[in-house]
Structure 1
Amino acid sequence: MNSYGELKADMETIQQRMVEAMKNERANALKEIKCFCKEFGFTAGMLKGSLAEGRNKK
Protein backbone atom coordinates (compact mmCIF):
# COMPACT_ATOMS: atom_id res chain seq x y z
CA MET A 1 0.00 0.00 0.00
CA ASN A 2 1.25 3.49 -0.85
CA SER A 3 1.83 6.06 1.84
CA TYR A 4 0.06 9.40 1.92
CA GLY A 5 3.24 11.19 0.83
CA GLU A 6 3.71 8.92 -2.18
CA LEU A 7 0.10 9.36 -3.24
CA LYS A 8 0.35 13.14 -2.84
CA ALA A 9 3.49 13.24 -4.99
CA ASP A 10 1.76 11.10 -7.61
CA MET A 11 -1.22 13.45 -7.57
CA GLU A 12 0.99 16.51 -8.10
CA THR A 13 2.75 14.80 -11.01
CA ILE A 14 -0.57 13.88 -12.59
CA GLN A 15 -1.87 17.43 -12.17
CA GLN A 16 1.23 18.81 -13.92
CA ARG A 17 0.74 16.34 -16.76
CA MET A 18 -2.92 17.39 -17.01
CA VAL A 19 -1.92 21.05 -17.35
CA GLU A 20 0.55 20.21 -20.12
CA ALA A 21 -1.99 18.03 -21.91
CA MET A 22 -4.57 20.83 -21.74
CA LYS A 23 -2.08 23.30 -23.23
CA ASN A 24 -1.26 20.91 -26.08
CA GLU A 25 -4.90 20.12 -26.83
CA ARG A 26 -5.80 23.80 -26.73
CA ALA A 27 -3.02 24.67 -29.19
CA ASN A 28 -4.10 21.85 -31.51
CA ALA A 29 -7.74 22.93 -31.34
CA LEU A 30 -6.79 26.50 -32.25
CA LYS A 31 -4.77 25.28 -35.24
CA GLU A 32 -7.74 23.20 -36.40
CA ILE A 33 -10.13 26.13 -36.04
CA LYS A 34 -7.80 28.39 -38.01
CA CYS A 35 -7.69 25.79 -40.79
CA PHE A 36 -11.50 25.60 -40.86
CA CYS A 37 -11.75 29.39 -41.01
CA LYS A 38 -9.40 29.47 -44.01
CA GLU A 39 -11.04 26.51 -45.72
CA PHE A 40 -14.63 27.69 -45.35
CA GLY A 41 -14.04 31.44 -45.34
CA PHE A 42 -15.31 32.12 -41.83
CA THR A 43 -14.62 35.59 -40.51
CA ALA A 44 -14.59 37.03 -37.00
CA GLY A 45 -17.87 38.80 -37.78
CA MET A 46 -19.54 35.51 -38.65
CA LEU A 47 -18.36 33.95 -35.41
CA LYS A 48 -19.02 36.99 -33.23
CA GLY A 49 -21.76 35.41 -31.12
CA SER A 50 -19.74 32.25 -30.62
CA LEU A 51 -16.46 33.79 -29.54
CA ALA A 52 -15.40 34.80 -26.03
CA GLU A 53 -14.92 38.49 -25.44
CA GLY A 54 -11.45 39.81 -26.14
CA ARG A 55 -9.04 41.13 -23.58
CA ASN A 56 -9.63 44.57 -22.16
CA LYS A 57 -7.52 47.21 -23.85
CA LYS A 58 -5.71 49.54 -21.48
Structure 2
Amino acid sequence: MASKGMLGTMFPQFLDTPVVAGNDFVPNVEHILSLNPDVVIQWGDKGDDIVAPLRNAGLKVILLE
Protein backbone atom coordinates (compact mmCIF):
# COMPACT_ATOMS: atom_id res chain seq x y z
CA MET A 1 0.00 0.00 0.00
CA ALA A 2 2.83 2.40 0.77
CA SER A 3 4.18 2.15 -2.77
CA LYS A 4 0.83 3.22 -4.20
CA GLY A 5 0.12 6.05 -1.76
CA MET A 6 1.55 9.33 -0.57
CA LEU A 7 3.89 7.73 1.96
CA GLY A 8 5.92 6.04 -0.77
CA THR A 9 5.83 9.16 -2.94
CA MET A 10 6.94 11.56 -0.23
CA PHE A 11 9.40 9.20 1.46
CA PRO A 12 10.60 6.62 -1.10
CA GLN A 13 13.23 5.35 1.35
CA PHE A 14 10.33 4.11 3.49
CA LEU A 15 9.74 1.40 0.88
CA ASP A 16 13.04 -0.19 1.99
CA THR A 17 11.77 -0.59 5.56
CA PRO A 18 11.81 -4.27 6.58
CA VAL A 19 8.48 -5.92 7.33
CA VAL A 20 8.81 -8.40 10.17
CA ALA A 21 5.24 -9.43 10.89
CA GLY A 22 2.91 -11.90 9.27
CA ASN A 23 -0.58 -11.39 7.91
CA ASP A 24 -1.86 -11.57 11.49
CA PHE A 25 0.22 -8.45 12.37
CA VAL A 26 2.04 -10.34 15.15
CA PRO A 27 5.57 -8.96 15.28
CA ASN A 28 8.65 -11.15 15.30
CA VAL A 29 10.25 -9.41 18.29
CA GLU A 30 13.53 -11.33 18.10
CA HIS A 31 14.01 -10.37 14.45
CA ILE A 32 13.10 -6.76 15.16
CA LEU A 33 15.61 -6.60 18.01
CA SER A 34 18.32 -7.99 15.72
CA LEU A 35 17.76 -5.00 13.40
CA ASN A 36 18.44 -2.57 16.29
CA PRO A 37 15.72 -0.12 15.18
CA ASP A 38 15.29 3.41 16.49
CA VAL A 39 11.53 2.96 16.35
CA VAL A 40 8.98 0.31 15.32
CA ILE A 41 5.81 1.21 13.41
CA GLN A 42 2.85 -1.01 14.26
CA TRP A 43 -0.90 -1.00 13.81
CA GLY A 44 -2.45 0.53 16.91
CA ASP A 45 -5.94 -0.82 16.42
CA LYS A 46 -5.07 -4.52 16.47
CA GLY A 47 -5.00 -4.83 20.26
CA ASP A 48 -2.49 -4.79 23.07
CA ASP A 49 -1.37 -8.35 22.25
CA ILE A 50 0.33 -6.87 19.17
CA VAL A 51 1.93 -3.85 20.85
CA ALA A 52 2.85 -5.15 24.32
CA PRO A 53 5.61 -7.56 23.20
CA LEU A 54 7.38 -4.70 21.43
CA ARG A 55 7.15 -2.34 24.39
CA ASN A 56 8.10 -5.11 26.83
CA ALA A 57 11.27 -5.64 24.78
CA GLY A 58 12.14 -1.98 25.34
CA LEU A 59 11.38 -0.83 21.82
CA LYS A 60 9.92 2.57 20.99
CA VAL A 61 6.67 2.04 19.11
CA ILE A 62 4.69 4.37 16.82
CA LEU A 63 1.09 3.24 16.45
CA LEU A 64 -0.91 3.76 13.25
CA GLU A 65 -4.68 3.70 13.15
Report the TM-score, using the length of structure 2 for normalisation: 0.24
Report the TM-score, using the length of structure 1 for normalisation: 0.26
**Larger Rg over CA atoms:** 1
Higher helix share: 1
